[in-house]
């Protein structure tokens, strides 16, 4: 896996950091994208290099087209190609607001970062992957299996009426995964959606007490918080090519939250 190249958006903290570190520990070359926290991104790169991988921190606001292009250009310039794109970067609404009151500003922000960003970053990276796949055999790694993973959420199908903008953006990612899976299969590029449940990160810090209580009262069959490492293990399985005959697949990493129970 040593020459493999991954872009992990939002790799500076939380779930993205867990993914970047897990790939780094396998010797991958990992582009650690971040929005503003350069110190955290530098720490992740340092950890990756200590573990035997190679890291590159790239600032880019995933909601801005020129930034996304720069992210891909820097990746190709530095590492030559992209084997794995992990669309992880995402934000929660600054304020949770009732569906009947919530404003357009928050909606536009969440759609730009959580949906439009990954949608067009995937388009750009997919073209780079297709270019790589179409190279003569002698000019590419023997067992090339490029893949794209999008970290959505249980919010893709769970209605939370105090953050409709977040839910709508995540539901959009579910269709995005199907679309790119259907379009890219002919090139051998598999596309997956990972749906995390309740994961312990900075994002869920403000609602920790609420979820502690819900988990202790039976919210999930596996009665604990998820960890970034739980998501990272699923990403590693895809990155290693262990799901070769599956594409457009949803991988629930949610402690069984999605199960209907009676």
Catalytic residues: 166
Residue of the chain from 31, 35, 147, 215 that contacts ligand NAP (CB under 6 A)? 35
Q: How far is the CB of 111 from ligand NAP (least distance, A)?
A: 12
CA distance 28 to 48: 9
- Does 55 interact with ligand NAP (rule: CB under 6 A)? no
- Does 89 interact with ligand NAP (rule: CB under 6 A)? yes
Residue 2 or 222 having the CB closest to ligand NAP: 222
- Does 16 interact with ligand NAP (rule: CB under 6 A)? yes
250: CB partners within 8 A, 6+ apart? 174, 177, 192, 193, 194, 195
- Does 30 interact with ligand NAP (rule: CB under 6 A)? no
The C-alpha angle with vertex 115 and arms to 212 and 122, in degrees rounded to 5, equals 115
Q: How far is the CB of 59 from ligand NAP (least distance, A)?
A: 8
**Which tokens belong to 128?**
């780079």
Sequence-ordered alpha helix ranges (H) in 148-227:
164-184, 208-216
Residue 145 or 151 having the CB closest to ligand NAP: 151
Residue of the chain from 4, 5, 7, 10 that contacts ligand NAP (CB under 6 A)? 10
Q: How far is CA 67 from CA 33, 38, 189, 256, in A?
A: 11, 15, 24, 36
Query: Restricting to residues 227-246, which ones interact with ligand NAP according to CB under 6 A?
Result: none
Residue 190 or 220 having the CB closest to ligand NAP: 220
**Which tokens belong to 59?**
């600032």
- Beta-bridged to residue 31, according to DSSP, are 7, 56
- Does 94 interact with ligand NAP (rule: CB under 6 A)? no
Residue of the chain from 21, 33, 251, 257 that contacts ligand NAP (CB under 6 A)? 33
- Do residues 198 and 211 touch, judged by C-beta distance below 8 A? yes
CA distance 211 to 224: 10
Q: How far is the CB of 53 from ligand NAP (least distance, A)?
A: 18
**Which tokens belong to 53?**
């991988």
- Does 93 interact with ligand NAP (rule: CB under 6 A)? no
- Does 86 interact with ligand NAP (rule: CB under 6 A)? no
Site map for ligand NAP, 184-223, x if CB under 6 A? ------------x-xx-xxxx-------------------
Q: How far is CA 49 from CA 58, 114, 161, 238, in A?
A: 16, 29, 43, 22
* Interface ranges with ligand NAP (CB under 6 A): 9-10, 12-16, 33-37, 40, 60-63, 88-91, 113, 151, 153, 196, 198-199, 201-204
């Amino acid at each position: 896996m040593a020459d493999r190249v991954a872009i992990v958006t939002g790799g500076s903290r939380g779930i993205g950091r867990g993914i970047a570190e897990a790939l780094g520990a396998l010797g991958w070359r990992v582009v650690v994208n971040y929005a503003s926290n350069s110190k955290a991104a530098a720490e992740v790169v340092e950890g990756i290099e200590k573990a035997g991988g190679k890291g590159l921190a790239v600032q880019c606001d995933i909601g801005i087209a020129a930034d996304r292009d720069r992210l891909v250009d820097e990746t190709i310039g530095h590492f030559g190609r992209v084997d794995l794109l992990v669309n992880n970067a995402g934000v929660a609404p600054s304020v949770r607001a009732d569906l009947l009151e919530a404003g357009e500003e928050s909606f536009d922000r969440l759609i730009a970062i959580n949906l439009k960003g990954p949608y067009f970053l995937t388009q750009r990276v997919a073209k780079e992957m297709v270019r790589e796949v179409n190279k003569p055999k002698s000019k590419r790694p023997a067992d090339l299996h490029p893949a794209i993973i999008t970290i959505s959420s249980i919010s893709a199908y769970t209605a939370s009426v105090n953050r409709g903008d977040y839910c709508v953006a995540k539901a959009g990612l579910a269709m995005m995964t199907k679309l790119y899976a259907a379009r890219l299969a002919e090139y051998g590029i598999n596309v997956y959606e990972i749906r995390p449940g309740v994961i312990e990160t900075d994002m869920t810090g403000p609602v920790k007490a609420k979820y502690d209580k819900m988990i202790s009262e039976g919210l999930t069959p596996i009665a604990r918080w998820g960890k970034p490492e739980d998501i990272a293990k699923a990403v590693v399985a895809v990155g290693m090519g262990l799901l070769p005959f599956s594409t457009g697949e949803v991988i629930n990493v949610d402690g069984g939250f999605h199960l209907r129970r009676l």
